[in-house]
Amino acid sequence: MGGFGDYKPAMAMFGLQFAYAGVALSTRAALLEGMNARVFVVYRQAIATLVIAPVAYFSRRKSSGCSLGLRSFSLIFLSALIGVTIGQNIYFEGLYLASSSMASAMGNLVPAVTFIMASILGLEKVDIRKLRSIAKILGTVLCVCGAVSMALLRGPKLLNTEHLPGKSLFGSSSDGENLLLGCVFLFASACCWSIWLILQVPTSTSYPDHLSLSAWMCFFGTIQSATVALFLEQDPEAWIMHSSFQLACCFFVGIVGSGISFFVQAWCISRRGPLFAAMFNPLCTVMVTILAAIFLHEKIYAGGLVGAIGVIIGLYILLWGKAEDAVETKKETDHRKLQNEADEEDILEKTNHKIDLEEPLLSHQTSSV
């Protein structure tokens, strides 16, 4: 029975990619206007905390909730440190030094990096005799090669020109050094996000209230990011927003990028699964590349374009391998379930036969007659 409801997850993910593209472009524009990247992370997380915390509080009151023990506190604090404080600070530094299209394309590396880390930790099964494992390996190689191509190969300039003001923590440098250093930061950010995803397994097990978990993570991220910013930025002027656009950008990124997007993505994953949500990621890269060239006049090089295409192709090959894994796992689970049901029927049948044999052929009344 197909209807409008069947298309809602796809429409929601399509709209979410537009939102992510808006977050990348508005953040890049605010950074180019002079917004401090470290301060921006603090404002973003503070606004996200103010948005998510009340919702988490009232939803927790309606349910029994779960307690925040020492193990849960440690895991949430570590997740916030790696995924929010370190990950977002180096991401925005890379976004400023490279470009918004480069940052969006590098984000597609997260599944490949997560696959490598999960394989090393033994959380991902790899069997080179099976096609799905070969697909995951090939997709990972293509993603990594595409990322290297984006960072090192430039080729002819296809569109636009751009000049960066000297607002980076690492000072001003030549355009080539900016691009390479920005790509290094973006790759490190993808690694941090992959570690964060792996950490969600024990964290969610220890603290299964996902909405409250997000609120705590944003809160810890705000405190940690503020500590980093206060240590690195000695000038009080860095904390001042000099335009209404920077203020609007902070609220937009905090509410949409960290608030609304959480609910939309969680809802889509609950309806269609994580692979369905991941399939839409390259759409954001295409949107950001086109809009950044039009509105921000970002440069597009042939090497970067080829590398981005390689990353996207590798991502889809990797996702296909993961999808086949999910199908195989479901078949194995169904087979075990049927086997267990068959074993239970055999045990029940043997028990019934035993009862029948132990039952006397004639009742006591019949024998007495």
User: What pLDDT shows up at residue 229?
Assistant: 93
What amino acid is encoded at 107 in this protein? G
Kindly report the backbone phi and psi dihedral angles of residue 248, in degrees, each rounded to the nearest multiple of 5, phi listed first: -65, -35
Alpha-carbon distances of 310 from 190, 283, 303, rounded to whole Å: 17, 14, 11
Q: How confident is the model at residue 176 (pLDDT cuts 50, 70, 90)?
A: low
Give strand ranges (E) for 39-198.
Answer: 157-159
Residues 6+ apart with CB under 8 A from 188: 90, 94
User: What pLDDT shows up at residue 1?
Assistant: 44
Tokens of 117: 């880390």
Residue 233 lies in a domain: yes
Residues of the chain with pLDDT > 70: what percent?
A: 82
Q: For residue 300, what are the β-bridge partners?
A: 159
Give the DSSP letter of residue 84. Answer: I
Residue 156 lies in a domain: yes
Residue 356 lies in a domain: no
pLDDT tens by residue, 83-122: 889 999 999 999 988 888 888 888 888 888 888 888 888 7
Distance CA 315, CA 309 (A): 10
Residue 354 lies in a domain: no
Residue 211 lies in a domain: yes
Distance CA 171, CA 169 (A): 6
CA dihedral 44, 15, 83, 269 (to 10 degrees): 140
Alpha-carbon distances of 43 from 186, 262, 319, 363, rounded to whole Å: 21, 18, 34, 86
- Domain with 262, as residue range(s), is 4-331
DSSP characters over 245-305? HHHHHHHHIIIIIIIIHHHHHHHHHHHH-HHHHHTTHHHHHHHHHHHIIIII---EEHHHH
Distance CA 337, CA 342 (A): 9
Residue 130 lies in a domain: yes
Q: 163: closest CA among 23, 291, 305, 32?
A: 32
Residue 345 lies in a domain: no
Mean per-residue pLDDT over the chain, rounded: 80
Residues 6+ apart with CB under 8 A from 331: none
What amino acid is encoded at 155 in this protein? G
Stronger pLDDT, 132 or 188, i.e. the higher one:
188
Structural domains in the chain (count): 1
Q: What pTM was estimated for this model as a whole?
A: 0.78
pLDDT tens by residue, 136-170: 889 888 888 888 777 677 677 766 555 555 455 54
User: What pLDDT shows up at residue 57?
Assistant: 82
Residue 35 lies in a domain: yes
